Amino acid sequence: MIIKLQKLSELIQEKNQIDNEIAEIIQRPAQIGHVGEFIASIIFDVQLMESASYKAIDGIFRSGLQGGKSVNIKWYGKQEGILDITPNALPDFYLIMTGPRSNQPTSRSGTRPWSIEFVYIFLTSDLVSKLTSRGSKIGIAASIPKSLWDQAEIYPNDCSPMLPLLSEQKHLLSLFHGGK
């Protein structure tokens, strides 16, 4: 057990160094949410809010079909069919990047890699309307039916016409694919 603790200490020191380097790049703490916002701001042309604590809105799309519209950006380590929705401060859109689909009933011995396997965009008013009509809970860890995720997918499959991706955007997203 002591050897495991020593190895863990070494790995945490390495992780802290990497986190410092990431924080230098993104100018915020190296947490998955902040890093996801940074990535999305570049790939999807989003002007991030000055403060990371702005309620429910991470930024404003600068261009494209959503130009001038607000967005909440999420990056989840796994695609588990849930979305944190802030019902009293809704953005115009939710942009969600996820790692691989989860098929495990428990997180024991699992990982949550920082990878982008899927990207989805939801028009918030549409999403909330559909969930409300189903009697679904709106809030933290709102369960979103698979059919809605499928309709909202923009990467790797372009199922939603709401945010068509250019080949350069697809290439940039592929840099964060976990299968490398």
List the domain boundaries for the chain.
1-28, 31-174
pLDDT bucket at 93, cuts 50 / 70 / 90? very high
pLDDT of residue 8: 96
Which pLDDT value is given to residue 179? Answer: 56
The pLDDT confidence band at residue 180, using thresholds 50, 70 and 90, is very low
Residue 54 is predicted with a pLDDT of 77
Q: Is the pLDDT of residue 151 over 60?
A: yes
pLDDT of 153 strictly over 60: yes
- Region 76-87 average pLDDT: 94
Q: What is the pLDDT of residue 55?
A: 81
Residue 63 φ then ψ, to 5°:
-150, 180
Report d(CA 2, CA 7) in Å as an integer: 9
Work out the average pLDDT over 109-126.
Answer: 91
108 pLDDT tier (thresholds 50, 70, 90): low
> Quick count: other Cβ atoms within 10 Å of Cβ 180?
7
Strands 70-76 and 93-98: parallel
% of the chain exceeding 70 in pLDDT: 95
Percent residues over pLDDT 90 in the chain: 86
Q: State mean pLDDT over 19-32.
A: 96
pTM over 0.85: yes
Query: Given a cut of 70, is residue 104 above it in pLDDT?
Result: no
Instruction: Please say if the pLDDT value at position 16 is more than 60.
Output: yes
